Amino acid sequence: MSFWGATRLIAQREILVQVRGKSLWITFGLFIVGLFAAAILPGLGGDESGPTVATFGTQATRVVAATGTDLEARAVADLGQAEALVRDGEVSAAVVDDPGSPTGVRVIAMSQAPYRVLAALAAPPPVDLLAPDAVDEDILFLASFGFSLAFFIFGMSGVGIAQSVVTEKQTRIVEILVATVPVRALLTGKIAAYSLLVFGQVGVLAMLTPIALRAGDMGALLGLIGPALGWFVPFFMLGFVLLASMWAVAGALVSRAEDLSSTSPLVTLLVMVPYMGVTFFQSNDIAMTVMSYVPFSSAVAMPVRMFAGETQLWEPFVSLAILAATLVAAVLVAARLYTGSLLQTGARVRLRRAWSGAETPLA
Amino acid sequence: MLQVRSISRSFHGNKVLNDLSFEAKAGRITGFVGANGSGKTTTMRIILGVLAANEGTVTWQGGPITQQVRQRFGYMPEERGLYPKMKVAEQIVYLGRLHGLDQATAQRNTTALLDRLELAGRADDPVERLSLGNQQRVQICAALVHDPDLLILDEPFSGLDPLAIETVLSVLRAQAARGVPVLFSSHQLELVERLCDDLVIISGGSTAASGDRKTLQTRFATPRFELVVDGDAGWVRDVAGVEVVELDGARVVFDVAEGEQAQSVLQAAIHRGPVRTFGAVVPSLAEIFREVI
């Protein structure tokens, strides 16, 4: 059988095992729920009406009415009644006529000036927006959080590759497999299987995003998020395969599933870096620019920068090329380490030994 | 035919195999015996390409063993390995397909093998739910599913009950009858003696003896005879040119310098009374093993 024939069979088995298991579906389901929750929940809070104020006098009534729904008016017959309502806590404050004040009204409150009432009453100066399309900070945060969370959770799901590799070592079926198919087909099949599973999930989530946004009445965001989402997919794919090859080596270096904890922290760190980095340094332009070119973090940082509209046209291509080159190098190194350590049993295999061990098997 | 020529292999400066040579011929069952740590498993791994030899060559039908060739070999490693959570039949079909079978053939062969090894009822159970003996049978199915061109089994009988041993013996004989060279290692010398046509004895990483089992037994046989008479057999001690190895009342085992002298002993025995047993003693494998190692 050809190399690719063997790779396909191995990938098929891995996919079948995952699809039959529960954890894949639980993670995927949580993602879909989270996506819709993020799109719909903020909108639900928006219907909340403003604080209620007691009003006395024509000017006060007019001013409060001018705030629209920001303040709810409760007209009273005299000043004493207004003060009584404030004292009882029935209203947040009272707005009463005061010819001596420049605005013609006065606010009566208990111990502190009520911020929300004052803000609603303040007459804001007219605003001219120079960049009306610029992305709102909150939405930028939400999008970058979404990208980095997706990368983090799917990146961590790559631990399944390490577990699959170590299971084959632990049960010793690896000896039959290595005697039958090329070692590289074994590695390629595993990476391909997990990558396809994750890409499938990301693809479905990317397709569901417009639906979720429309359901949350945020359809207007689509035009903004669309291109960034489109770029997130290729960055994510390369970034995931890069991580997948590292997970495979983490599994091959140990002989028992319980020893995975000695090799997996390094890969976990590589998964955490883009997540933490983009979340913490989101408003630091220099940090974000650097991270958008460094492999691993570029998978998240570049789409976020694009979303914020900070990139030149050529930037994502250069970053993607750097990521792709790193990926090729990493897969070659991983294949050698995997080959060199797969049949070594006992304690954790040192990297140097795994590297030189690759020379002894024929395969 | 599988030919192993002068292979050597060291691990961290420790020479495990040293100029080892032997062959496994078509249609013959070759027993591979040696003490623990003598290099049997290392040799088998080198044949399967799981390890590389530092020196020497392994050839199949006179040519090098490529991935394509190796894929047609059947292998049962000493450290058994199967996917514990995968169903028995599914697993054997999968391994059959990795060996290059199409789905239909893999299915068909799996069904036939499970029947043959009396596992048909367990086809849909995960391997981990089977007893160790039954897991061993599944392992044998995994080595046979693709009708291999060469069969290599590392300790195929360890952990099997007597009934299972008989089943496996008959399966291996059937493979050899198909013209497949079968190479297997075992510590159970009486099984090796029953099953194998050829024998390879390895000691300290080198071939201590190899060839046709019967020829080896004859070669290692000293001219030794057993005689059982009705009375006391002590008189044999006094026959010239005869050395008594064992004497127990009416039974005596003795060596002679030449075969003809045994006939003189027999004639003398008949002259003295009834002879119950007389014959040449063929050394057991265990005796040859002790002698060459």
Q: Residue B37 and residue A275: Cα distance in Å, rounded?
A: 51
Average predicted confidence (pLDDT) for chain A: 82
In Å, how far is B136's CA from the nearest CA of chain A? 13
Point out which residues pair with B226 in neighbouring strands: B253, B279
Lowest mean pLDDT among A108-112, B7-11, B48-52: A108-112
Lowest mean pLDDT among A30-39, A278-287, A313-322, A348-357: A348-357
In Å, how far is B120's CA from the nearest CA of chain A? 22
What is the mean pLDDT of the segment spanning B16-30? 92
Q: Residue A288 and residue A280: Cα distance in Å, rounded?
A: 10
Report whether pLDDT(B164) > 90: no
* pTM score: 0.77
Tokens (6 digits) for B65 = 């063993």
Query: For A7-43, what is each residue's pLDDT tens digit?
Result: 999 999 999 999 998 888 998 998 899 888 887 876 6
Tracing tokens 């993020």 back to the chain, one arrives at: A38
Query: For B208-253, what is each residue's pLDDT tens digit?
Result: 888 888 888 877 777 788 899 988 888 988 888 888 888 898 999 9
Residue A44: pLDDT band by 50, 70, 90 thresholds?
low
How many percent of chain A have pLDDT more than 70? 90
- The reply to whether residue A171 touches residue B84, judged by beta carbons under 8 angstroms, is yes
B contact set with A (CB within 8 A):
45, 48-52, 67, 70-71, 73, 75, 77, 79-86, 94-95, 97-100, 142
Residue B273 identity (one-letter amino acid): G
User: Which strands sit side by side in the sheet containing B63-64, from one edge to the other?
Assistant: B14-24, B2-11, B55-60, B63-64
Residue B290 identity (one-letter amino acid): R
Continuous H helices in chain A: 3-20, 23-45, 58-66, 79-88, 115-121, 137-157, 159-170, 173-180, 183-215, 222-252, 264-280, 285-291, 298-307, 315-341, 351-357
Tracing tokens 């997130």 back to the chain, one arrives at: A232
From chain B, pick out residues whose CB is under 8 angstroms from the CB of A177. 98
Tokens (6 digits) for B42 = 């290392």
Higher pLDDT, A311 or A28: A28
Lowest mean pLDDT among A127-141, A258-272, B161-175, B207-221: A127-141
| Chain centroid, CA B45 distance in Å | 17
Residue A124: pLDDT band by 50, 70, 90 thresholds?
low
Residue A362: pLDDT band by 50, 70, 90 thresholds?
very low
What is the mean pLDDT of the segment spanning A50-68? 81
Helix or strand run (H / E) with residue A350 = none
Mutate to test the interface with B, among A176, A341, A350 (most CBs of B within 10 A): A176
For A174, name the nearest residue in chain B, comparing CA atoms only.
Answer: B81
- The reply to whether residue A179 touches residue B80, judged by beta carbons under 8 angstroms, is no
Q: What is the CA radius of gyration of chain B?
A: 24
What is the mean pLDDT of the segment spanning A102-119? 79
Tokens (6 digits) for B174 = 């059937």
Q: Where are the beta strands (DSSP E) in chain B?
A: 2-11, 14-24, 29-34, 55-60, 63-64, 73-76, 150-154, 182-185, 198-203, 206-212, 224-229, 242-248, 251-256, 275-280
pLDDT at res. A363: 34
Q: Does residue A291 contact residue A147 with C-beta atoms inside 8 Å? A: no
Report whether pLDDT(B75) > 50: yes
- The answer to whether A360 contacts chain B (CB < 8 Å) is yes
From chain A, pick out residues whose CB is under 8 angstroms from the CB of B99. 1, 180
b/e per residue B214-252 (b: at least 16 CB within 10 A): eebbeebeeebbebbbeeebeebeebeebeeeeeeeeeb
Question: How many other CB atoms are there within 10 angstroms of residue B77's CB atom?
Answer: 24
Report the DSSP pairing between strands B242-248 and B275-280: unpaired
Lowest mean pLDDT among A18-32, A338-352, B38-52: A338-352
Q: What is the CA radius of gyration of chain A?
A: 29
Tracing tokens 């954790």 back to the chain, one arrives at: A348
pLDDT at res. B95: 94
Q: Is A183 exposed, middle or buried (0-12, 13-18, 19+ CB in 10 A)?
A: buried
Tracing tokens 């799917």 back to the chain, one arrives at: A154
Q: Could you give the C-alpha distances from B123 to A113, B117, B127, in angstroms and in order?
A: 79, 11, 9
Tokens (6 digits) for B119 = 């596992």
**Inter-chain Cβ pairs, chain A and chain B, closer than 8 A:** 73
- The reply to whether residue A172 touches residue B83, judged by beta carbons under 8 angstroms, is no
Average predicted confidence (pLDDT) for chain B: 89
pLDDT at res. A347: 66
Q: Is the ipTM of this complex over 0.85?
A: no
pLDDT at res. A361: 47
From chain A, pick out residues whose CB is under 8 angstroms from the CB of B67. 181-182, 363
N-term to C-term CA, chain A: 15
Residue A258: pLDDT band by 50, 70, 90 thresholds?
confident
What single string gives the DSSP state of each residue in A26-55?
Answer: HHHHHHHHHHHHHHHHHHHHTT----EEEE
pLDDT at res. A134: 59
| C-alpha closest to that of B88 among B133, B132, B141 | B141
- The answer to whether A91 contacts chain B (CB < 8 Å) is no
Query: For B118-159, what is each residue's pLDDT tens digit?
Result: 899 999 999 999 988 889 889 999 999 999 999 999 998 887
Report whether pLDDT(A276) > 60: yes
Helix or strand run (H / E) with residue A73 = strand A72-75
Residue A359: pLDDT band by 50, 70, 90 thresholds?
low
- The reply to whether residue A172 touches residue B80, judged by beta carbons under 8 angstroms, is yes
What is the mean pLDDT of the segment spanning A142-156? 83
What single string gives the DSSP state of each residue in B36-66?
Answer: TTSSHHHHHHHHTTSS--SEEEEEETTEE--
Point out which residues pair with A96 in neighbouring strands: A56, A106
Tracing tokens 């599988």 back to the chain, one arrives at: B2
Lowest mean pLDDT among B17-21, B51-55, B182-186, B279-283: B279-283
pLDDT at res. A346: 63
Largest CA distance in chain A: 98
Of A10, A173, A361, the CB nearest to B83: A173
Higher pLDDT, A354 or B15: B15
Tokens (6 digits) for A81 = 């009644």
Q: Could you give the C-alpha distances from A128 to A125, A131, A132, in angstroms and in order?
A: 10, 9, 9
N-term to C-term CA, chain B: 27
Helix or strand run (H / E) with residue B70 = helix B67-70
pLDDT at res. A126: 63
Mutate to test the interface with B, among A13, A18, A173 (most CBs of B within 10 A): A173
Query: For A190-240, what is each residue's pLDDT tens digit?
Result: 999 999 999 999 889 888 888 888 887 777 777 767 777 788 888 888 889
Of A173, A180, A361, the CB nearest to B82: A173
What is the mean pLDDT of the segment spanning B164-186? 91
CA dihedral A243, A246, A251, A252 (to 10 degrees): 150
pLDDT at res. A123: 62
